[in-house]
Amino acid sequence: MIPSVMAKLKIGVLGSGKGSNFRAILSEIEAGRLDAEPVIVMADVEGAGILDLARGAGIPAHVIREPRFCTKLSPEIETDVVRRLRDAGVELVVLAGYMRMVKQPLLEAFPRRVINIHPSLLPAFPGLEAWSQALAAGVEKSGCTVHFVDAGMDTGEIIAQAEVPVLPGDTPALLHARIQIEEHRIYPAVVARFAAGDLP
């Protein structure tokens, strides 16, 4: 009798920019170290690099068009995003540089199945350009955090963190680049924990 093969975790990715964290996830999948399958990628910016990454990998890619708001989606638009994710069979929603607040249509549809990575050691420095906030505050260390998404700004339950020292002479760009190295390490690792059933 042939043993059954466990299905790969189906992930949907939401982004706004070039998609470096999505690229890191794709690299781990292609290397055979992450048992997941991206089935849809959506971006709220026309021409975002993450869409080109998806198309290059043969993954369906869609633009989210929101004419009314800049920091969130209107309920009807977010409900349509939910429909697309469900139609694709998504089991885990991965935010990869997605610059809008997530609201109830998505959170209710995927309870404890929407995750994000933020470039600080939350709860410190939520919001935009956290690496610049860290430098301005004069802290000795920064880093990144993978967390469950809730209705607040970077307030969801923490899943994993990685520390990055703040070095003498650091600029925002230098610190951000070192934080991104850790982001690209821990985000695929967290997705792998979901794929293995290690996270509830």
Report, as residue numbers or ranges, the catalytic residues. 118
Residue positions counted in the chain:
200
Nearest-5° Cα angle at 126, 141 to 172: 50
**Residues 6 or more apart in contact with residue 54 via CB below 8 angstroms:** 13, 19, 22, 38, 41, 60, 61
